[in-house]
């Protein structure tokens, strides 16, 4: 009986030795593998979070940039639209009004005669003399203009007569000695008036 117990003790001792020499190192190795895997998993999770944060920041930055570009484009488009509207108002309201009032005055023989006389008087006042030529708008009748122009004006003309020009309104006076033409046609006066009063028109109608 005692011999049997001793045999069992030896077997148990051998089993304990095997467990200690084989199973425990394997358990420790398994524990190390698990810990290494956990550490690697933690690193991967940390990297994933950092990547997610980076992507989120880049997406936010991209959205902000796109938003800024959008608002900048929208602001530019708005300015262009307002400027286009201003130009259309000028073209539809301002310029036609100038044209309407100017056409009436500048194609009136009596008013045109007064203007021609004033200009010729100014030329003489500056000491400029010599032959002149006057071309009037095709919308002014020469015979009607002659009723208002004095004989002294015709005497200054190169051919003692007024010619008909190929323009819509007003007149052109040429000083031959100076080879200079004074353009008081409708187009020239319209441009001159528009240049001087367009700013006032814009301030009045487009003031902020």
46: tokens are: 């940390």
Q: Judge contact between 136 and 199, C-beta under 8 A.
A: no
Helix (H), strand (E) at residue 164: strand 163-164
Residue 136 to residue 180: CA distance in whole angstroms:
16
Q: What is the mean pLDDT of each run of 10 residues along the chain (208 residues)?
A: 58 62 61 73 77 81 81 74 66 61 76 85 80 85 83 78 84 85 82 68 54
pLDDT score for 70: 78
pLDDT score for 10: 65
Q: Tokens 């007569």, residue?
A: 161
For residue 168, which phi and psi values (nearest 5 degrees)? -75, -40
Q: What residue spans define the domains of the chain?
A: 1-86, 107-206
Return the closest-CA partner of residue 171 out of 158, 180, 160, 162. 162
pLDDT score for 202: 56
Number of other CB atoms surrounding residue 153 within 10 Å: 20
Where does residue 89 rank: exposed (0-12), middle (13-18), buried (19+ CB within 10 A)? middle
Cite the DSSP H helix spans in the chain.
2-18, 24-89, 95-106, 109-125, 142-146, 151-156, 186-206
pTM to 2 decimals? Answer: 0.48
CA torsion sign for 147, 149, 151, 155 is: negative
Residue 150 to residue 164: CA distance in whole angstroms:
18
What CATH class has 107-206? alpha beta
pLDDT score for 23: 56
Where does residue 102 rank: exposed (0-12), middle (13-18), buried (19+ CB within 10 A)? middle
pLDDT score for 49: 80
């Amino acid at each position: 009986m005692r011999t049997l117990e001793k045999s069992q003790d030896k077997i148990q001792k051998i089993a304990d030795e095997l467990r200690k020499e084989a199973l425990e190192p394997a358990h420790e190795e398994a524990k190390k593998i698990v810990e290494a895997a956990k550490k690697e998993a933690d690193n991967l999770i940390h990297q994933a979070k950092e990547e997610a944060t980076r992507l989120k920041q880049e997406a936010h930055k991209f959205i902000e940039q796109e938003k800024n570009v959008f608002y900048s484009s929208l602001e530019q488009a708005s300015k262009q639209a307002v400027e286009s509207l201003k130009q259309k108002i000028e073209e539809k309201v301002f310029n036609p009004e100038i044209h309407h009032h100017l056409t009436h005055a500048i194609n009136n023989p009596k008013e045109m005669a007064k203007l021609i006389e004033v200009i010729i008087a100014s030329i003489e006042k500056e000491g400029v003399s010599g032959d002149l030529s006057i071309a009037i708008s095709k919308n002014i009748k020469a015979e009607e203009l002659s009723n208002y122009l004095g004989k002294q004006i015709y005497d200054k003309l190169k051919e003692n007569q007024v010619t008909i020009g190929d323009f819509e309104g007003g007149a052109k006076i040429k000083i031959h000695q100076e080879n200079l033409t004074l353009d008081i046609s409708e187009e020239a006066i319209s441009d001159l008036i528009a240049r001087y009063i367009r700013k006032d028109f814009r301030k009045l109608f487009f003031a902020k």
